Structure 1
């Protein structure tokens, strides 16, 4: 693509990617990401903040993620491309919008392997002293976490097929252990084994919503819920390496989200059931375990389950860390193709089909996360909010693609005229529901991305058109942060709840209209961009057809 399109695509590098992932490998990728450290910690942190009302937050969070997943399912069908999550905004709204979203997304991705590694080490501290102290990793613990991150890199270094086979095996193990934990804790609650509170815990510790429903809504981003659900992103990030993307991408995305919703609702219920009532003397906020499910199992007398969970605390986060290490390499690969990062990162090793330079660069940057944020909860508190922000623009890209006639009717999922704006508006609300004191911590990260874009703008001479397509996104951020500062979720309280959420929803709807119109104008002004994307889609469809009829495929 020429410089006027704002979407340079080094096709020679994309051609090195291997299209070897099918439906089951994609489901394993999604579930392998969902069942990471999130299942080991999220239930406790959600209960601390919201008590039993955390179940409501899981349902709302799941509904949002399902809507977002459907949006990206259509985008993946229309234009499957590795690193697509940072490429779609470039095509629909230009470099400025893609840079803001891409930077935020890269930060959340590069933080995942250290998050998973710190989760492993935190659980291991229950039987290896000196790893975790005063709610954070020790120096020795950080060294062990870095070594584990290096293992994630090695597994991905030798190719997508080696990654897929390894992940399929790990995922099969990971599904069994949470299921076993759910069954045992629910049984203990009904039989009151080990003094488990059971169903009566829903009214103990201050009642169903001891800290109000506002606290429950805030946990969606800050307690690791968004983090736990967002494994589906990795399916989209690997879409350029998928066989039959029109069938496998939407099917695997929906499967992943639905399984995740069921799993996490049951895990939260099991945790609530299992907590002995004598521990609720100071309410749910007083529940604090370094290794939540493992220590709870020990309290209830399930020593054998304790050791299984300790073993799984190495398997589940490690499996998720392996998947996110793979996906983030494609994410950086996509950002380098966007010319946001140096071009030498947009290189794929022709033998392995892996962007190794991006893989190793992310490893080095990931280490830096463990120094200022040396714990699972500390990292999640910052990145969970950014994850919700990066989902918003998917709905805008989808509408722009449709209006530019980039997508065929066969690639359009039903109901998206309602689902796309719903995903956009509720994503904005999820950000807003984060307490202002925590949301404000993300402002420096966004600011760094804006500064870096300004540098690339001056060096690369993008043109004013590349900025105009993304102005609405800056206003969107200003509105959300401004509302948070004056609203009822830790702000000044100038607009009382629930009217603050209603006001933001209306403003978000207006910004959605602005964003989609801006994207439509951007694409219609660049017919050569649309034609090139159509050509790539047609070529991919032709390759897909040849693959489907080949003996090897059968």
Structure 2
């Protein structure tokens, strides 16, 4: 069996092969390139279907949560920049059990992104290429085309981070212009009622501002693709081991990405509401259903030229995002392999390109499997959106543990985290709870598979109970969320009426946050050599063996 010291020595060797070539603008392009993917093409319609104009409230809440979460990970990225960091930070703060649960869930959401983006491209393409999309899902031919597109994402990333960065910068510039043009034209059509666009009158049409209640709007944060749309920022953290001057560039690029995303998606949602012709609202907002939302809306309003631009962009925007997530998920697998959750051979980095190519190929093969049972953009998002919110929760816990254990020095601490960290944790819990029970229950088998996989690793790698203790609170957190959803007002038994159900969830989340941070601090203070390594970035083989991270305690 591989010893802890040998495993860590191998991990350090592979880390050294990564190239630190990404600056501020490349990171912003990475974040925006992920944010402006298929989400902007579909989320406005699905949010309007579920919540009507009240979907604007959901975008604001979702944006506030993502900004808080981004600031949490910004500090972690400053303190300890590391590729695959999102799955490494829970390992350092709470041990292998917690890191395995979060890492598995995060990997599932990441590996689902390229097929999500590819299916978005194919769904839009179906408006001019028959036979790709029918009955609200991809056909067999559509799946084949989506797989071919995923292969292109892999090829772009295969030849190195610099090639990836240059190509992504160009694609991102194009991706910003098209949504901006769409916003301007739909607003213009709404104000002039060109093509009988509803304009501002649509805020009162179709049942009013909140035709299905505020609760429906809250539920869209995870299920309509909002969390999915905002989460492009996390790719900046995943690539943090390849960043020049991380102390400056990571927080600056994260904040820039989130603020631009909030403004963009609020304007897109408003523009969509403005542009919908009122005669389509006879059955309310739930009756609005387009295969290619913005493109078909442009055609209805008589803007054929915009229709063709959007059709062209439907290939560029999702593809650019798919390329970014393909790069980031390779680093995610790289981190999980260093965690010894996945086999060690997956952490191999190709020396010439600086890319973990084996991880790229694994993700491509697993991504294909997503398209078989979930052959549409909306179906994939419905399952993974909730998991994304869950994976953000532990970042706040890791931040507090890093601070109290002395890893985060004052120069690396962002102001306001005493409030921002618990806010990010508590509201992430609320976002999970607001998902209707019928959709939340679909995540249980995914979590169960991750727990079984960890149990195998626990036995074969002889982790020891100290690795489990640091993560027990996280299992309780999941159980509490599932139970509250089952008995609550969002598709559950309605035993606790709104808004008391959300208040109870917030209080329970706060208690679990305190438990999680205390567990993290105890875990780190019990491993002084680990804390020293994180503080200095240096650890000898003898110290690693003495520390025994991952060995039986």
- Pick the TM interval, shorter chain: over 0.9
Query: Which residue of 1 is the match for residue 229 of structure 2?
Result: 228
Secondary structure, counterpart of 1:205 in structure 2? coil
Partner in structure 2 of residue 292 of structure 1: 293
Paired position in structure 1 for 2:415: 414
Contact 1:222 1:385 in 2 (8 A): yes
Q: Taking structure 1 as reference, are residues 4 and 488 closer, same or farther at Cα in structure 2, changes over 3 Å only?
A: farther
Alpha-carbon distance in 2 for matches of 1:46, 1:349? 42
* Contact 1:7–1:90 (Cα < 8 Å) also in 2: no
Note the C-alpha offset of 1:536. Answer: 1.1
Counterpart-to-counterpart distance in 1, 2:159 and 2:150: 16
Give the match for residue 94 of structure 1: 95
Aligned mates of 1:369, 1:435 — CA distance in 2: 22
In 2: Cα distance, 1:407 partner to 1:182 partner? 42
SS of 2:537's equivalent? helix
Aligned pairs (5 A) from 1:271-420: 271-420=272-421
SS in 2 for 1:406: coil
Q: 1:428 and 2:451 equivalent? A: no
Equivalent position SS for 2:211: coil
- Is structure 2 residue 508 aligned with structure 1 residue 507? yes
Q: Deviations over 1:317-360 (max 9, x none)?
A: 00000000000000000000000000000100000000000000
Counterparts of 1:413 and 1:432 in 2: how far apart (Å)?
A: 29
2:156 maps to: 155
After superposition, the C-alpha distances for 1:154-208 in whole angstroms (9 at most, x for unaligned) are 0000000000000000000000000000000000000000000000000000000
Residue 92 to residue 126, structure 1, CA distance change in 2 (3 Å): same
What is the aligned partner in structure 1 of residue 547 from structure 2?
Answer: none
| Distance in 1 separating the partners of 2:253 and 2:69 | 14
Measured in 2, the distance between the counterparts of 1:339 and 1:532 equals 19
Q: Secondary structure at the match of 1:492?
A: coil
Specify the alignment match of 1:138 in structure 2: 139
Structure 1: distance between partners of 2:493 and 2:5: 45
Find the counterpart in structure 1 of residue 466 from structure 2.
465
Distance 1:511 1:523, change over 3 A: same
Which residue is equivalent to 2:104?
Answer: 103
Corresponding position of 1:545: none
1:490 counterpart = 2:514: no
The answer to whether residue 12 in structure 2 is matched with residue 22 in structure 1 is no
Deviates more, 1:2-11 or 1:338-347: 2-11
**Deviation for aligned residue 1:531:** 1.1
Cα distance in 2 between the residues matched to 1:3 and 1:389: 29
- 2-side partners of 1:7 and 1:501: how far apart? 43
- Determine the structure 2 residue equivalent to 1:551: none
Which one is further off, 8-17 or 213-222?
A: 8-17
Say whether the 8 Å CA contact 2:389–2:431 is kept in structure 1.
yes
The reply on whether 1:201 has 2:202 as its aligned counterpart is yes
Conservation of the 8 A alpha-carbon contact between 1:345 and 1:357:
yes
Shift of 1:10: 1.0
In structure 1, C-alpha distance between the alignment counterparts of 2:486 and 2:100, rounded to whole Å: 25
State the alpha-carbon separation in 1 of the partners of residues 318 and 259 from structure 2. Answer: 20
Query: In the alignment, which residue of structure 2 is the partner of 1:525?
Result: 526
1:201-260 CA deviation, whole Å, 9 max, x = no partner? 000000000000000000000000000000000000000000000000000000000000
CA distance in 1, matches of 2:268, 2:100: 37
Quote how far apart the aligned CAs of 1:535 are.
2.3
Structure 2 Cα separation of the partners of residues 405 and 438 of structure 1: 41
State the TM-score, normalizing by the size of structure 2.
Answer: 0.96
2:125 maps to what in 1?
Answer: 124
Aligned partners of 1:234 and 1:324 also within 8 Å: yes
The equivalent of 1:44 in structure 2 is: 45
- Structure 1 residues 473 and 115, CA gap change in structure 2 (3 angstroms): same
**How far did 1:481 drift?**
0.5
- Cα distance, 1:534 vs. partner? 1.8
Listed as ranges, the matches of 1:441-452 within 5 Å are 441-452=442-453
Quote the offset at 1:5 in angstroms: 13
Q: Distance in 1 between matches of 2:275 and 2:10?
A: 53
In 2, are the aligned partners of 1:7 and 1:338 still within 8 Å (CA)? no
Is contact 1:95–1:338 with CA below 8 Å preserved after alignment?
yes
Name the CA distance, whole Å, in 2 between partners of 1:304 and 1:484.
46
1:435-481 deviation line (CA, Å, top 9, x unaligned): 00000000000000000000000000000000000000000000010
Match of 2:550 in 1: none
Retained in 2: the 8 A contact 1:2–1:8? no
- The answer to whether the Cα contact below 8 Å between 2:68 and 2:424 also exists between their aligned partners in 1 is yes
**Paired position in structure 1 for 2:165:** 164
Equivalent pairs counted in the alignment come to: 539
Deviation (angstroms), 1:3: 3.8
Contact 2:45 2:293 in 1 (8 A): yes
CA shift for structure 1 position 532 = 1.4
Per the normalisation by structure 1, the TM-score is: 0.96
Q: Show the 5 A alignment for 1:208-287.
A: 208-287=209-288
RMSD after superposition: 1.4
Shift of 1:509: 0.2
Q: 2:132 & 2:211 partners in 1: Cα distance?
A: 33
Listed as ranges, the gaps of 5+ residues in structure 1 are 540-554
Residue 53 (structure 1) aligns with: 54
User: For 1:9 and 1:431, how far apart are their aligned partners in 2?
Assistant: 37
1:341 counterpart SS class: coil
What SS class does the counterpart of residue 254 from structure 1 fall into? helix
| Distance change (3 Å), C-alpha of 1:107 and 1:379 | same
The verdict on how the C-alpha distance between 1:16 and 1:7 changes in structure 2, with shifts beyond 3 A counting, is: closer
Task: Give structure 2 stretches of 5+ with no counterpart.
Answer: 541-553
- CA distance, structure 1, for counterparts of residue 165 and residue 539 of structure 2: 27
